[in-house]
Amino acid sequence: MTTDISEKYGKELDETIAIISSPGKGLLAADESTGTIGDRFKSINVENVEKNRQQYRQLLFGVAKESSKYIGGVILYEETLFQKDDNGVDFTKILRDAGIVPGIKVDLGQKVIPGTKNELRTQGLTDLDKRIAKYYKQGARFAKWRASYDVTKDLPSDLAIEEQSIQLARYAAICQVNGLVPIVEPEVLVVEGDHDAKRSYEVTHKVLAATFYYLHKHNVNLSRIILKPNMILAGKKNKDKSSTQKVAEDTLKVLRDTVPTSVPAILFLSGGQTEDESAENLNAMNASSTKKPWYLSFSYGRALQESCLKTWLGKSENVKKAQEVYLQKAKNCYLAALGKLK
């Protein structure tokens, strides 16, 4: 019998998952890298400096008590994990005091896999255990690692799928041994390109099957992970768009065919969908009579923040209104996770 590698922190890992997956709750992905948040700020003419990044995250976490009705955890970037609000209080303390679990993005970006058509492999395994010890001490209780896959007629390659799946499995094992719940994020870039929904389904099926094959091979306890997959959508350049009902049906089918029932929670990424689309598609899945052995909810970044950012515009006088907008989007996602969005 294989030893349970998550046993040392088992109770704590279970408690973290229970908080994150409380009925209707999901994750706010506020883990944009310095470059990515810079792109967001550029769209609203805000300078990408640490003070502005801190002020924006303070806007979001300043309503932690109110958002805790809808948000179970927040994924943070390393800079944000160690930042404080204007009163000198750690962001992690603000979140924890509100009943929200802080988490941390631990991957270090991507590099091209030699011998492929510029396919990418995620970096960051070297000394990951040492970084996790630092993050755990600061209050993080879960982690996120993103592996992405291009979709074309002949991509992703078998090599890219294998490489990324192995990396995801090693990351998940290191997390469980060191006290963090691993969010496993194999993102098939379904929105990019001109492929149809059928091709998205085929690739997602293949990627998820490989992901769980290697998680099992690396002795990862599947009952103590959270899966963060894409939904099944046609590429944005394809003229045939799936209805909300079809997205729900295709996505539930690929999950039933590939994801073990021992996985407790599946929190979808929004993956280029609008705020409304991401909530409506999630709602359709949860409103479906199809049997769902896992908790289905959200782990959204832009789909929770886009309207908030456009309302804020980097101006202090807009903070309250921007917070109201963020809370409304969070409530919509909460209702969608319950299948009760009108």
Detail the DSSP E strand segments found in 6-138: 26-30, 71-76, 101-105, 110-112, 120-122
Residue 266 and residue 264: Cα distance in Å, rounded? 7
Residue 269 and residue 231: Cα distance in Å, rounded? 8
Catalytic residue numbers read: 185, 228
Integer CA distances (angstroms), 25 to 67, 126, 223, 277, in order: 10, 33, 19, 18
Q: Which H helix or E strand runs over 311? A: helix 302-312
5's CB contacts (< 8 A; 6+ apart) are: 173, 176, 177, 219, 220, 221
| Alpha helix stretches (DSSP H) within 98-243 | 128-137, 158-177, 197-217
